[in-house]
Amino acid sequence: MDYQEFLSRHRGKITGVILGLIFGWLIILYGFLKTFFIALCAGIGYYIGKRADEKYDFKDLLARVFRKD
């Protein structure tokens, strides 16, 4: 098994370990609440970026969120 095949077969495990190490390191440095806030901001950023990649209409979203009843 070569390096590329190993990475492709175990991509999820490798990503999970790296994310776990980063999350643990951030908790040690900043504490749980600050780390949670950073993770929340990263998740929101990912969601917005994913929608932008999909050419999502943000004007429609804002209109639904801030509509007046």
| DSSP state string for 29-42 | HH-HHHHHHHHHHH
Three-class DSSP category at 11 = helix
- List, in sequence order, the alpha helices (H) in the chain: 3-9, 11-30, 32-53, 58-65
pLDDT tens digits, 10-35: 888 988 899 999 999 999 999 999 99
**Other Cβ atoms closer than 10 A to 27:** 14
pTM: 0.61
Give the confidence band of 69 by pLDDT, cuts at 50, 70, 90: low
Q: What's the pLDDT tens digit per position in 46-64?
A: 888 888 788 777 777 777 7
